[in-house]
Structure 1
Amino acid sequence: MKDIPKLVLSYNSAQTKFSISFCFFVFQIKRLKDLEKEKDALWSGLEILEKARLWYLQRLEENRAWQDILCACPQARSCLLGSRIQRVNGSLGSVMSEPNAMTGSNPSLLEAVADSDLRWHNSVLTQVKKQPSRR
């Protein structure tokens, strides 16, 4: 009879050790799964950053090519500067007349930018059209 409590105590101790080891194992598995999810999220973010970097590099190349074209044709450059000055003046004028215009999306500002772009393209085409006739 005296051996029975020792046996039960021994069994409970072994079960507790097994239970703690099992809990630790389950915790480690959960931690590994969480780390795997975090790794996947970081790889996705890295992929997005790489795509954004390539997009910006492409825009830089396009802008450099555009600047090379403008440097080759000084009239187009002065025309572009004039268009940009008009755009800035128009934007400043709208800000001064409508102080709350920048708080939300302003369709009139977008229309003004589109209008400025159209005017610039029109003036470039006019410059190009005038060049052959001057010869």
Structure 2
Amino acid sequence: MACNGSYTVVIVPLQNSLYSSDALRFFHWLKKLRALEREKDSLWIGLQVLERTRFWYQHQLDQISQRNARVGTRELDEEEESWSCALRSSMQRVNGSLGSLLNNAYVCSAAPDEMDASDWCLRWTNAVLTQEVSQKNDRISILEFEKEILLQQRDGIHYF
């Protein structure tokens, strides 16, 4: 996902051969430019995700405020409490990941070198796949939790 107008097309006719020092310098300059554009795209995507996350956290805070106002009027359901526990666990994991990212931000270089570009691409792909696996694992956890609730409800029906 790229920002509007973030790419520049440059066509420069080379007076000498493709293997001249000018051509090599120009090629390395283009590779650095491409790496910077990729990093810029990644940062924009990250900002968009953080903005959506901020809205989600704000919504959760509003819901908690509403639930706090109703605590005296009704008992909390066990299902709501356990869902809250699962949600709290997920939020702690996200907060830890963001903290780790900020702590490691100064360790990593700003843009990959030409030699590390393919390594950087592999790491990015790995990060995306890891995120997808994490989302699938979260979904599995939720389904297992719902299964456990259904089993408890079923067992409760048999006892009556």
> What range describes the TM-score normalised by the shorter chain of this pair?
0.3 to 0.5
Q: Structure 1 length normalisation: TM-score?
A: 0.46
Which has the greater radius of gyration? 1
More helix by share: 1
